[in-house]
Amino acid sequence: MIYMNAIEKQVLEKIKPSDEEKTRLENTASYLMKRAEEIAAENEIPGVEVQLVGSAARGTWISGTHDLDIFISFDPSLPRDKLEEYGLLIGRELARESESWEERYAEHPYTKLKFSGFDVDIVPCYRVESAEKIISAVDRTPFHNLFVREHIVGLEDDVLLLKQFMKAGEVYGSELRTGGFSGYLSELLVIHYGSFEKVLRAATSWKPGETIEMIKSKHSFEEPLVVVDPIDSNRNVAAALTLERFTQFISISRDYLRNPSETFFLKANPIPMSDEEILDSFKKRKTGLVAICFKTPDTVEDILYPQLFKMQKSVEALLEKHDFHVIKSKVWADEKSMLTIELENMSLSNVRKHFGPPVWVKEHSEKFRDKYINNPDTFKFYIEDGKYVAELPRKFSHAKDLLESEIYNCALGKHVNRSI
Amino acid sequence: MIYMNAIEKQVLEKIKPSDEEKTRLENTASYLMKRAEEIAAENEIPGVEVQLVGSAARGTWISGTHDLDIFISFDPSLPRDKLEEYGLLIGRELARESESWEERYAEHPYTKLKFSGFDVDIVPCYRVESAEKIISAVDRTPFHNLFVREHIVGLEDDVLLLKQFMKAGEVYGSELRTGGFSGYLSELLVIHYGSFEKVLRAATSWKPGETIEMIKSKHSFEEPLVVVDPIDSNRNVAAALTLERFTQFISISRDYLRNPSETFFLKANPIPMSDEEILDSFKKRKTGLVAICFKTPDTVEDILYPQLFKMQKSVEALLEKHDFHVIKSKVWADEKSMLTIELENMSLSNVRKHFGPPVWVKEHSEKFRDKYINNPDTFKFYIEDGKYVAELPRKFSHAKDLLESEIYNCALGKHVNRSI
């Protein structure tokens, strides 16, 4: 805590867990870890170590967020199928005492539980000697934990402020759906720059390609922000951060420093518009709206969203190619998925001017002429600015017709394509 | 006459004046010239010489076109006001015997008469020693006449064919309204290339910047076709030829050589469309039509048309600037003048996306943000592709409103502006 203004102090009072809340978390974590060790012993599972990782282990969790990440580590010599079997076994045994639970399959399978109001992940991993020797991505987490715990002391409050600021500004969360800042990334930024405000101040001068090398890297990265992972120089901790979220963070940092206020830490609570208000707004804007709805494919978010974004991009390109100009599009996913696109124009003239090569470029222009001059579809054929022009009918003069006919030729991603 | 195919022979039979027609022209010209000399003598006007110039003097006139250009030349020592006085005097005296007449004021005043079915121009000029010493542009004409008469012998029929081909192809006439080939230019082309067909063959390989130097020029010209005037190396005979007519000529030359037919020498006689057909065509094309009508300013064509074209260009630019896309526009002038513009879209969405600088370009993007974020007109403000975007209402969402409001801010030319 280098410097903190009155607003930040006030915010901190609200988001910092009370002693009572902390004790409850610590007790819950201790209990689960002890039980995990007991289960391992009872089942004669060899070489098990249990540890708490993540924000709960680092004092960087925001009051009210009750996530516990408990990692069960095994010796690297253990075969993978055994690791999965033991990991799920311990998870299932713990689940007996939980309110609800499920098994998830990422790189390894792991177990999610609800336990006394906490969201608990029980994750099996290999206990490798160093970060260079990791077998799967989750093996890196304990090293992250170690690094942050070593460097974060005294800066926890700054991390809380930064996380809350990022959440309210809608740039927090590294899932592909959001493309924002991860918790680990926010911690590294505070460690690197030294305080909440220093991170914001630095961000006001960021440009795409901004690179923070807490250790040197030989690798060259392409992402808007590069933060070399201090425990693995080949990895960019900010790899998932999109240009959108990157610039949004620059923008809100600048705004906050010019006019600090508590609202920057409060989530926006937009009042939903009534149907009438929505219709009225479209009337005022004189725009068109098309939507593509379909059953949400049954897959995890980190596969679904990239496919939805891919679809969004290729449908936009299709529309633009046919002269329908997109104002803004958005994807939504719940039980149903939806791509909505606001268009400048829903329908177009039936004529498009197709320009040929300049008349003096002999062969090409003769070919063009032969192709179009006697084509029964050609409305008119003439010379403009020294080039042949054929006025041709459009294949699609209404956006709906275009989408209905051409959607299947768009790059949609496997799952989305199947669902549509 | 190097080579001529059956079609060309056939065409020539129709367009070549008969001996009887020739005799009538020669007799009329001789009579008028003799009378001009007599009038000069009667009025004691000193140093007058009378000569016939133009196509009638060169045997390059098409049957049915009855133009006589009679030049009255004076000694260069004669003061300008005297030249004008004497010129008009001779004109007026000749006019006594004419069917109708008028006085026109170009660089010098001259007299136009209808005489036994001929359109006669009586033009005063200075009889200078050489083309370098001309006092006004008309003084050049006798030198052109001399040059062509010397070189055209034996090629007259080729000139007739070329002129007829250019007329039918709508590229003949060097007035600014047309921007096509002048008679003198067509004669030079035949002299240079050697025959009608050779001109066409050459044209199929023309590119903008094509230069024909019958004498060397030190001047560098910018026009699509450069034909250095053999009697004045600083002048491009094709200066008035537009890129449109230039490429049109390339195009019809190519077409004719691929498929020679008499239709290339016949003027198109388009069948006028009925009102219903016109409406039907717009319905099919789903386009919009706007027209600007006004009383034709009282000025000569060579001043009027450049102003109309200027208006056409600047109105097109105005429309495009406001996202109304022009398919084709056309100017017309009679008693009323009219600019018609076919548009892809008569009305637009009320929203336009105004992109600011990238967010990381600090000062500029902050300025942009401050300007638009709290502007009550701004529909939405957000970040896209790393740039700030303000969604603003359009000032004009209908082409008619735009034109009514902004036409006076267009570059229109003095006379047109006053008339509108």
- Cβ neighbours of A309 in B, within 8 Å: none
Angstrom distance (rounded) from CA A306 to CA A302:
7
Beta pairing, strands B336-343 & B326-333: antiparallel
Does residue B1 register a pLDDT over 70? no
Confidence of residue A3 (pLDDT cuts 50, 70, 90): low
Helix ranges (H only) for A79-140 are 80-95
Cβ–Cβ contact B261 with A under 8 A = no
| Burial bucket for residue A347 (CB in 10 Å: 0-12, 13-18, 19+) | middle
Under 8 Å between Cβ of A169 and A248: yes
Cβ–Cβ contact B136 with A under 8 A = no
- Cβ neighbours of B391 in A, within 8 Å: 327
Cβ–Cβ contact A209 with B under 8 A = no
Instruction: Please tell me the predicted confidence (pLDDT) of residue B420.
Output: 75
Confidence of residue A5 (pLDDT cuts 50, 70, 90): confident
Please, which residues have CB within 8 angstroms of residue B386's CB and are 6 or more apart in sequence? Answer: A208, A224, A243, A244, A246, A247, B358, B359, B360
Contact A344 B344 (CB under 8 A): no
- Angle B250-B251-B255 from CA coordinates, rounded to 5°: 120
Residue type, A417: N
Angstrom distance (rounded) from CA B317 to CA A215:
56
Beta pairing, strands A387-393 & A49-53: unpaired
Helix or strand (DSSP H, E) at A405: helix A399-406
Contact A359 B204 (CB under 8 A): no
Instruction: Please tell me the predicted confidence (pLDDT) of residue B3.
Output: 64
Mean pLDDT of A24-51: 95
The torsion angles phi and psi of B118, rounded to 5 degrees, stand at: -100, 145
Residues 328-347 in B contacting A (C-alpha not used; CB under 8 Å): 328, 343-345, 347
Closest CB from B244, B327, B360 relative to A247: B360
Greatest extent of chain A over all pairs of C-alpha atoms, in Å:
89
Residues 272-311 in A contacting B (C-alpha not used; CB under 8 Å): 284-288
Does residue B108 register a pLDDT over 90? no
CATH number for B275-347+399-419 (one of 1.10.1660.10, 3.30.70.590, 3.20.20.300, 3.40.50.720): it is: 3.30.70.590
CATH number for A156-265 (one of 2.70.180.20, 1.10.1410.30, 3.90.180.10, 3.40.980.10): it is: 1.10.1410.30
Confidence of residue B233 (pLDDT cuts 50, 70, 90): very high
Confidence of residue A280 (pLDDT cuts 50, 70, 90): confident
Instruction: Please tell me the predicted confidence (pLDDT) of residue B282.
Output: 80
- Cβ neighbours of B350 in A, within 8 Å: 284-287
Domain B17-138: state its class. Answer: alpha beta
Helix (H, G, I), strand (E, B) or coil at B288: strand
Most B CBs within 10 A among A251, A342, A394, hence the mutation to make, goes to A251
Report chain B's mean pLDDT, rounded to a whole number. Answer: 92
Under 8 Å between Cβ of B86 and B45: yes
Share of chain B above pLDDT 70, in %: 99
Beta pairing, strands B210-212 & B225-229: parallel
Query: Beta strands of B193-325 (E only): which ranges?
Result: 210-212, 225-229, 232-236, 288-295
| Burial bucket for residue A405 (CB in 10 Å: 0-12, 13-18, 19+) | exposed
Report chain A's mean pLDDT, rounded to a whole number. Answer: 92
Please, which residues have CB within 8 angstroms of residue B160's CB and are 6 or more apart in sequence? Answer: B12, B15, B16, B60, B62
Cβ–Cβ contact A366 with B under 8 A = yes
Confidence of residue A35 (pLDDT cuts 50, 70, 90): very high
Q: What is the pLDDT of residues B62-91, one digit of tens each?
A: 999 889 999 999 999 999 999 999 999 999
User: Could you tell me which residue, A65 or B207, shows the higher pLDDT?
Assistant: B207
Most B CBs within 10 A among A255, A287, A349, hence the mutation to make, goes to A349
Q: What is the pLDDT of residues A381-410, one digit of tens each?
A: 999 999 999 999 999 999 999 999 988 887
Contact B287 A351 (CB under 8 A): yes
Instruction: Show the tokens assigned to B178.
Output: 């047309």
Share of chain A above pLDDT 90, in %: 75
Contact A284 B350 (CB under 8 A): yes
Residue B223 is given by DSSP the state S
Average the pLDDT over each of A404-418, B133-147, B211-225 and give the range with the smallest value: A404-418
Contact A349 B327 (CB under 8 A): yes
Closest CB from B362, B379, B385 relative to A204: B362
User: Could you tell me which residue, A281 or A60, shows the higher pLDDT?
Assistant: A60
**ipTM, 2 decimals?**
0.82
Share of chain B above pLDDT 90, in %: 75
Angstrom distance (rounded) from CA A253 to CA B365:
14
Q: What is the pLDDT of residues A66-112, one digit of tens each?
A: 899 999 999 999 999 999 999 999 999 999 999 999 988 877 789 99
- Quick one: how many helices (H) and strands (E) in chain A? 14, 14
Closest CB from A207, A366, A386 relative to B360: A207
Instruction: Show the tokens assigned to B152.
Output: 């055209």
Under 8 Å between Cβ of A183 and A197: no
Instruction: Please tell me the predicted confidence (pLDDT) of residue B271.
Output: 78
Confidence of residue B231 (pLDDT cuts 50, 70, 90): very high
Mean pLDDT of A363-381: 92
Angstrom distance (rounded) from CA B309 to CA B305:
6
Closest CB from B207, B243, B388 relative to A385: B243
Nearest residue in A to B326, CA atom: A353
Closest CB from A244, A247, A351 relative to B327: A351
CA proximity to B17, closest of B65, B51, B58: B65
Strand partners, B157: none
Closest CB from B208, B284, B348 relative to A344: B348
Which residue bears the tokens 């081909």? B165
Nearest residue in B to A344, CA atom: B349
Instruction: Please tell me the predicted confidence (pLDDT) of residue B419.
Output: 77
Does residue A49 register a pLDDT over 60? yes
Under 8 Å between Cβ of A400 and B289: no
Residue B398 is given by DSSP the state B
- Cβ neighbours of A351 in B, within 8 Å: 285-287, 327, 344
CATH number for A16-138 (one of 3.30.460.10, 3.20.20.10, 3.40.50.720, 3.40.50.620): it is: 3.30.460.10
Nearest residue in B to A283, CA atom: B350
Residues 44-73 in B contacting A (C-alpha not used; CB under 8 Å): none
Instruction: Please tell me the predicted confidence (pLDDT) of residue B2.
Output: 53
Instruction: Please tell me the predicted confidence (pLDDT) of residue B317.
Output: 94
Q: Nearest CA to CA, how far is B170 from chain A (Å)?
A: 13
Under 8 Å between Cβ of A341 and A315: yes
Instruction: Please tell me the predicted confidence (pLDDT) of residue B374.
Output: 87
Q: Nearest CA to CA, how far is A265 from chain B (Å)?
A: 19
- Cβ neighbours of B359 in A, within 8 Å: 247-248, 250-251
Please, which residues have CB within 8 angstroms of residue A98's CB and are 6 or more apart in sequence? Answer: A113, A114, A115, A120
Angstrom distance (rounded) from CA B268 to CA B289:
25
Most A CBs within 10 A among B211, B252, B352, B359, hence the mutation to make, goes to B359
Q: Nearest CA to CA, how far is A355 from chain B (Å)?
A: 12
Confidence of residue B417 (pLDDT cuts 50, 70, 90): confident
Strand partners, B67: B119
Under 8 Å between Cβ of B249 and B199: no
Q: Nearest CA to CA, how far is A217 from chain B (Å)?
A: 25
Please, which residues have CB within 8 angstroms of residue A158's CB and are 6 or more apart in sequence? Answer: A1, A190, A195, A196, A199
Instruction: Show the tokens assigned to B150.
Output: 């010397």
- Cβ neighbours of A363 in B, within 8 Å: none
Same fold, A275-347+399-419 and A351-393: yes
Domain A351-393: state its class. Answer: alpha beta
Angstrom distance (rounded) from CA A231 to CA B238:
75
Contact B350 A208 (CB under 8 A): no
Instruction: Show the tokens assigned to A370.
Output: 């032969």
Contact B285 A351 (CB under 8 A): yes
Contact B204 A384 (CB under 8 A): no
pTM of the predicted structure, to 2 decimals: 0.73
Confidence of residue B413 (pLDDT cuts 50, 70, 90): confident
Does residue A1 register a pLDDT over 60? no
Closest CB from A288, A343, A383 relative to B244: A383
Instruction: Please tell me the predicted confidence (pLDDT) of residue B132.
Output: 85
Structural domain spans, chain B: 17-138, 156-265, 275-347+399-419, 351-393
- Cβ neighbours of B328 in A, within 8 Å: 380, 384
Mean pLDDT of B382-400: 93
Contact A351 B243 (CB under 8 A): no
- Cβ neighbours of A204 in B, within 8 Å: 362
